[in-house]
Amino acid sequence: MVKLIIDNRPVEVAEGTTILKAARQAGIHIPTLCYFELAGMNFENKPGGCRVCVVEVEGRRNLAPACATDCMEGMVVHTNSARVLNARRTVVELILSDHPNDCLQCEKNGDCELQALAKRLGIKEIPFKGTQSTYKKDCTLSVERDMDKCVMCRRCETMCNKIQSVGALSAINRGFNAVVSPAFEEHLGDSSCVNCGQCVQVCPVGALTLVDNISDVAKALADPTKTVVVQTAPAVRVALGEEFGMEPGTIVTGKLAAALRRLGFNYVFDTDWSADLTIMEEGTELLGRVKKVLNGEKATLPLFTSCCPGWVSFFEKNFPDMLDYPSTAKSPQQMFGAVAKNFFAKKIGIDRKDMVVVSIMPCLAKKSECAREEFAVNGNRDVDFSLTTRELAHMIKQFNLDLNEMPEEDFDSPLGSSTGAAVIFGATGGVMEAALRTAYEIQTGKTLPRLDFTEVRGLDGVKTATVDFNGLGVNVAVCYGLANARAMMEEVRNGNPRGFHFVEVMACPGGCIGGAGQPYHHGNSDIIRKRMEATYREDAGKPIRKSHENPDIVAIYKEYYGEPCGHLSHEQLHTHYYDRSTKVEVK
């Protein structure tokens, strides 16, 4: 333990604690900008670059960055001396002097950390007039980039390289011209970007934002010739409330259904339903491969999950030699789209062209996923538009509604019923747990003695377990963050020494609950933790908690698909992958 004095208050902290954290402990909140931490989730960005958190340490020549300076025994720290306040204000004024002054039109208006900082410091004018950086604007199907707003916090760069190992973004140039960019300042869409959108989730300002599809959806809703069907992902219901001032971890499933109905959607369905369907397909595929191996035949193991479009794009770009590992099952979003546009459109007697399927997702990659060519019939997409949780919140507000005042309503039938297994898809380890519940019972023919596979729960980046399938040890792994996934793929490529049978991969920290389309968590991992707890609470409260027991799922196999991994489901519910790696064209 070290003892020090911060703003005349004695503080005692563990060795290795930064001044920033020690001060927080003492109730002193030093402002930061570039600093970003997801505590307990192995993500820390502290380049010490913005210099907003500088403090005065007695005996030191210059000011010290609180985020990167460790407390020392006997240190005397001032966080609000005249020298500090002047320096901090000048630094923020400098940052603002190279930042467009267009807060009112900015996507980040109200969520911007720089805006909050300027407000907190009471900055009324910027004394420095000078050149401002200008860059070409750019967008992919998911991410918009306006680097004029970049403050060089480098969070996106850290996220893209350290956590995701995607390597699409890097700091380029130097000095005043330094900025974060894809190689050669070309389009992000032409880079190794997988549209996971985590750069957007961590960006403190409006430099990286999502591609907004609200107007597309509003237009469809206003079109009387269209039947507009909406599906909403598991992770949305545990986070949407935050946008309306509710406590993180509030479950708003019923209010969500009510709000969607009031927005004018003709059918309010649930992606949870297709999550159950996914388990049927993926679980069957897993058992098929395992059985083959047990019978001495050749089969590719481990099976990797394929619900996460960021992850799918990642392995297509980076592991073209391993395209036969992931499950061919489509993601729940796309299964839903396929069922809606094939089965349900026919059922209600309309042409698929007259149906618009909208998804509400915690995700930015879903926007790119629904635009993939293989998920459309003659240019008509299975899922027409994908909105994020944040966009939905905006839309509810634009439509003059308040989620707090919504009644509790149910989803429509038949694509609205779901089990607890589907709910937990939203958290890392959830798909694995859901699949295990079903696969175990199908494989062994026995009822699970214990439904909660706690060994695959929690916020660790990589979790492994061996599950006893009645004498057969099934080795499973769960990881989030594409760098962890990369390591897993490389391990498998090198002979799968740990003998994994089944691996779940989610691109985003904590799984979909930490998705890039979720309300901004601003680095507070407690928010993600609370969303996770809510997810398991919702599961525990569900009457049915195993996908294969969902009566509507049982019914659709009976009525339409026949059996999991059967002929029709292969046609509609499965997909295949493409080698999208960089290749050399010899001139």
Partner 1 sequence: MTKIKTHVLCCGGTGCKASASDQIIDEFQNILKEKGLQDEVQVIRTGCFGFCEKGPIVKMLPDNTFYTQVKPTDVRKIVEEHIIKGRKVTDLLYLDPENKQHVSDSKHMGFYKKQLRIALRNCGFINPENIDECISRGGYEGLGKVLSEMTPQQVIDEITKSGLRGRGGAGFPTGVKWGLCAKNKADQKYVVCNADEGDPGAFMDRSIMEGDPHSIIEAMAICGYSIGATKGLVYIRAEYPLAIHRLQVAISQAREYGLLGKDILGSGFDFDIELRYGAGAFVCGEETALIHSMEGKRGEPTFKPPFPAVSGYLEKPTNVNNVETFANVPIIITKGADWFNKIGSEKSKGTKVFALAGQINNVGLIEVPMGTTLREIIYEIGGGIKGGRQFKAVQTGGPSGGCLTTKHLDTAIDYDSLMAAGSMMGSGGMVVMDETSCMVAIAKFYLEFTCEESCGKCSPCRIGNKRMLEILDKITKGNGTMEDLQELRNLAGVIKDTALCGLGQTSPNPVLSTLDNFWDEYVEHVVDKKCRAGVCKQLMHYEINPEKCIGCGACARVCPQEAISGEKKMAHHIDNMKCIKCGACHEKCKFGAIEIK
Partner 2 sequence: MANIKISEKNLKTVKEICKSFGNKGGEVINVLHKVQGEFGYLPKEIQEAVAMELNIPVSRVYGIVSFYSFFTMQPKGKYPISVCLGTACYVRGAEKVLDELKRQLKVQVGDTTSDGKFSLNVLRCVGACGLAPVVMIGDKVYGRMTPDKVKDILGEYND
Which residues are identified as catalytic? Answer: 282, 285, 307, 327, 366, 369, 374, 512
Among residues 23, 118, 152, 421, the one that binds partner 1 under rule CB under 8 A: 152
CB-CB contact of 360 with 398 (8 Å): no
| Among 248, 535, 514, 198, CA closest to 362 | 514
The DSSP bridge partners found for residue 361 are: 388
If the CB atoms of residues 152 and 507 are measured against partner 1, the closer one turns out to be: 152
Among residues 109, 190, 390, 495, the one that binds partner 2 under rule CB under 8 A: 190
If the CB atoms of residues 73 and 585 are measured against partner 2, the closer one turns out to be: 585
* Size of the residue set binding partner 2 (CB under 8 A): 27
Binding-site partner at residue 182 among partner 1, partner 2, none, CB < 5 to 8 Å by type: partner 2
Characterise 17 by phi-psi region: left (phi > 0), alpha (psi -120 to 50), beta (else): beta
The DSSP bridge partners found for residue 38 are: 43
The DSSP bridge partners found for residue 54 are: 65
The site string for partner 1 over 516-555 (x = CB under 8 A, - otherwise) reads: ----------------------------------------
CB-CB contact of 143 with 215 (8 Å): no
4 makes contact with partner 1 (CB under 8 A): no
The amino acid that residue 491 corresponds to is E
Contact segment (CB under 8 A) with partner 1 among 66-74, 187-195, 365-373, 384-392 equals: 66-74
Q: Phi/psi of residue 72, each to 5°?
A: -125, 150
Among residues 86, 170, 404, 413, the one that binds partner 2 under rule CB under 8 A: 170
Q: Which residues contact 296 (CB under 8 A, 6 or more apart)?
A: none
Q: Which residues contact 16 (CB under 8 A, 6 or more apart)?
A: 70
| Min CB(136)–partner 2 separation in Å | 15
Among residues 61, 124, 129, 174, the one that binds partner 2 under rule CB under 8 A: 174
Residue numbers 178-217 binding partner 1 by CB under 8 A: 178
3-state SS, 226-242, equals CEEEEEECHHHHHCHHH
Among residues 23, 63, 256, 527, the one that binds partner 1 under rule CB under 8 A: 63
If the CB atoms of residues 314 and 425 are measured against partner 2, the closer one turns out to be: 314
323 makes contact with partner 1 (CB under 8 A): no
Q: Which two tokens stand for residue 468?
A: 């006893």
Residue numbers 283-342 binding partner 2 by CB under 8 A: 317
Dist. CA 13–CA 4, nearest whole Å: 8
| Among 95, 97, 111, 110, CA closest to 151 | 95
Binding-site partner at residue 83 among partner 1, partner 2, none, CB < 5 to 8 Å by type: partner 1
If the CB atoms of residues 317 and 574 are measured against partner 2, the closer one turns out to be: 317
End-to-end Cα separation, the chain, in angstroms: 64
Number of C-beta neighbours around residue 511 at 10 A: 31
Note the residues at the interface with partner 2 (CB under 8 A). 161, 166-174, 181-184, 186, 190-192, 317, 580-587
Note the residues at the interface with partner 1 (CB under 8 A). 47-52, 54, 62-63, 65, 68-70, 83, 86-87, 90-91, 94-95, 97-98, 127-128, 130-131, 151-152, 171, 173-178
